[in-house]
Structure 1
Amino acid sequence: MRRLLLLTMSLFLLVILTGCLMSSEEFQEIYEHSMDLDDDGHRDPKYEFGDDCDDHDATVYPGASESCNEVDEDCDGDVDEGFDKTWYLDEDGDGEFSPDPVVSCTAPGDVVSRNPGADCDDRDGSVRPGAPEYCDGVDNDCDGEIDPDTALDAAVWYTDGDGDGYGDPASPLSACTQPAGAVSDDTDCDDGEATVNPGHAEVCNDFLDNDCDGTDNTCARTGTLSLANADVIILGGVQGAEAGVAACGIGDLDGDGVHDLGIGAPGVTGRGRAYVFYGPITADSNLQDAPATIRDTETGCLGAAIAGGSDLTGDGLDDFVIGDPCWGDTNSDGHADGAVFISQEPPSGTESPVSDWLTINGAGFRQGVGAALSTRGDVDSDGRADLAVGMPYGDRRETDCGQVSIVHGPITENPSTSSGIQLYGISEGQNVGVTFTHDLDANGDGYSDLLVGQPEIESGDYRGRVEIAFGPIREDSSLGVASTWSGGDGYIGLGAAVASAGDVNGDGYDDILAGAPRTLGSNWTQTYSGKVYLVHGGADGPDDLDEDGVIFSGEGGTEAGRALSSAGDFNGDGYDDILIGAPGDGDDLGGAYLIYGPVSVNRDLEDADLILRAEEAHHLAGASVCGGYDLNGDGYDDLVVGAPGHDEIGVDAGAVYIIFGRGL
Structure 2
Amino acid sequence: MKNYIKLFLLSAMIILSNIPADANWIGSENDISINAEIRNTQYTQSTQHTPHSNRDSLPEGVTKEWLNSLTDERGQKIVQPEEGGDAMQERFFTGFAAGDLFGTSISSAGDVNGDGYSDLIIGAPLNDAAGASAGRAYIYYGGTIINSVVDVVLTGLAAGDQFGISVSTAGDVNGDGYSDVIVGANGNDAGGSNAGRAYIFFGGSSMNNVADIILTGAAVSDNFGTSVSSAGDVNGDGYSDVIVGANFNDAGGTNAGRAYIYFGGSSMNNVADINLTGAAASDNFGTSVSTAGDVNGDGFSDVIVGASSNDAGGTNAGRAYVYFGGSSMNDIADVLLTGEAASDGLGISVATAGDVNGDGYSDLIVGANLNDAGGSNAGRAYVYFGGSVMNNVADVTLTGVAVSDQFGISVSTAGDLNGDGYSDVIAGANLNDAGGASAGRAYVYFGGNLMDSTADVLLTGAAANDQYGSSVSTAGDMNGDGYSDLIIGADQNDAGGSSAGRVYLYDYFMKNEIIPDLSMTGASGNRFGYSVSSAGDVNGDGYSDVIVGAFGYSSNTGRAYIHFGGPSMDNTEDVTMTGEAISNFFGVSVSSAGDVNGDGFSDVIVGAYRYSSDTGRAYIYFGGTSMDNIADVTMTGVAEFTNFGISVSSAGDVNGDGYSDVIVGAVGYSSSTGRAYIFLGGASMNNTADVTMTGETTFNEFGESVSSAGDVNSDGYSDVIVGAAGYSSSTGRAYAYFGGALNE
- Relative to the length of structure 2, the TM-score reads 0.54
**How far has the Cα of 1:542 moved from its partner?**
4.0
CA 1:376 to 1:464, structure 2 compared with 1: closer, same or farther past 3 Å? closer
Q: Does 1:271 align with 2:134?
A: yes
Asked whether the 8 Å contact 2:301–2:324 carries over to 1, the reply is yes
Indicate the larger mover: 579-588 or 238-247.
579-588
- Aligned residue identity for 2:212: W
Counterparts of 1:362-511 in structure 2 under 5 Å?
Answer: 362-410=217-265, 412=267, 414-416=269-271, 419-459=272-312, 460=314, 463-472=317-326, 474=328, 477=331, 482-488=334-340, 492-511=344-363
Partner of 1:326: 187
Residue of structure 2 aligned with 1:536, choices 385, 398, 401? 385
Asked whether the 8 Å contact 2:308–2:316 carries over to 1, the reply is no
CA 1:379 to 1:410, structure 2 compared with 1: closer, same or farther past 3 Å? same
Residue of structure 1 aligned with 2:490, choices 640, 643, 650? 643
Residue of structure 2 aligned with 1:245, choices 104, 120, 127? 104
**How far has the Cα of 1:426 moved from its partner?**
2.5
Q: Does 1:596 align with 2:446?
A: yes
Which whole-Å CA distance do the structure 2 matches of 1:638 and 1:514 have between them?
A: 21
Partner of 1:516: 368
Cα root mean square deviation, aligned: 3.1
- Aligned residue identity for 2:276: L
Which whole-Å CA distance do the structure 1 matches of 2:84 and 2:372 have between them?
A: 30
Partner of 1:19: none
CA 1:344 to 1:221, structure 2 compared with 1: closer, same or farther past 3 Å? same
Which whole-Å CA distance do the structure 2 matches of 1:567 and 1:655 have between them?
A: 19
Which whole-Å CA distance do the structure 2 matches of 1:488 and 1:462 have between them?
A: 10
Partner of 2:620: none
Q: Does 1:577 align with 2:424?
A: yes
Q: Does 1:290 align with 2:142?
A: no
CA 1:540 to 1:521, structure 2 compared with 1: closer, same or farther past 3 Å? closer
Which whole-Å CA distance do the structure 2 matches of 1:265 and 1:489 have between them?
A: 33
Deviations 1:450-493 (A, max 9, x none): 212111112435611122122227355355xx421222257711
Partner of 1:36: none
Which whole-Å CA distance do the structure 2 matches of 1:634 and 1:528 have between them?
A: 38
Asked whether the 8 Å contact 2:234–2:241 carries over to 1, the reply is yes
How many pairs does the alignment contain? Answer: 434
CA 1:394 to 1:230, structure 2 compared with 1: closer, same or farther past 3 Å? same
More strand by share: 2
- Aligned residue identity for 2:484: D
Asked whether the 8 Å contact 2:473–2:487 carries over to 1, the reply is yes
Residue of structure 2 aligned with 1:341, choices 193, 199, 218? 199
**How far has the Cα of 1:575 moved from its partner?**
0.9
Which whole-Å CA distance do the structure 2 matches of 1:583 and 1:472 have between them?
A: 37
Which whole-Å CA distance do the structure 2 matches of 1:438 and 1:489 have between them?
A: 26
CA 1:225 to 1:596, structure 2 compared with 1: closer, same or farther past 3 Å? closer
CA 1:635 to 1:309, structure 2 compared with 1: closer, same or farther past 3 Å? farther
Asked whether the 8 Å contact 1:306–1:323 carries over to 2, the reply is yes
Which whole-Å CA distance do the structure 1 matches of 2:498 and 2:323 have between them?
A: 41
**How far has the Cα of 1:654 moved from its partner?**
0.2
Asked whether the 8 Å contact 2:289–2:306 carries over to 1, the reply is yes
Deviations 1:96-130 (A, max 9, x none): xxxxxxxxxxxxxxxxxxxxxxxxxxxxxxxxxxx
Partner of 2:27: none
Partner of 2:741: none
Partner of 2:169: 308
Partner of 1:197: none
Which whole-Å CA distance do the structure 2 matches of 1:469 and 1:533 have between them?
A: 18
Which whole-Å CA distance do the structure 2 matches of 1:365 and 1:476 have between them?
A: 26
Deviations 1:253-293 (A, max 9, x none): 111111111110001012000111111174563xxx41211
Partner of 2:463: 616
Partner of 2:71: none
Greater relative CO, 1 or 2 (CA 8 Å, sep 6+): 2
Asked whether the 8 Å contact 2:88–2:509 carries over to 1, the reply is no
Deviations 1:555-604 (A, max 9, x none): 3332111101111011111111111111116824302111111164653x
CA 1:531 to 1:389, structure 2 compared with 1: closer, same or farther past 3 Å? same
Asked whether the 8 Å contact 2:368–2:409 carries over to 1, the reply is yes
Which whole-Å CA distance do the structure 1 matches of 2:180 and 2:500 have between them?
A: 26
- Relative to the length of structure 1, the TM-score reads 0.61
Partner of 1:53: none
Identity among equivalent pairs (%): 31
Partner of 2:213: 358
- Aligned residue identity for 2:158: E
Which whole-Å CA distance do the structure 1 matches of 2:190 and 2:440 have between them?
A: 35
- Aligned residue identity for 2:111: D
Which whole-Å CA distance do the structure 1 matches of 2:244 and 2:146 have between them?
A: 33
CA 1:625 to 1:527, structure 2 compared with 1: closer, same or farther past 3 Å? same
Which whole-Å CA distance do the structure 1 matches of 2:450 and 2:342 have between them?
A: 21
Deviations 1:293-344 (A, max 9, x none): 111332211111111161112222111211111111544xxx3111111113
- Aligned residue identity for 1:435: S
Which stretches in structure 2 are left out of the alignment for 5+ residues? 1-49, 58-63, 68-78, 512-744
Which whole-Å CA distance do the structure 1 matches of 2:141 and 2:51 have between them?
A: 26
CA 1:636 to 1:376, structure 2 compared with 1: closer, same or farther past 3 Å? farther
Which whole-Å CA distance do the structure 2 matches of 1:601 and 1:552 have between them?
A: 14
| Matched residue SS, 1:389 | strand
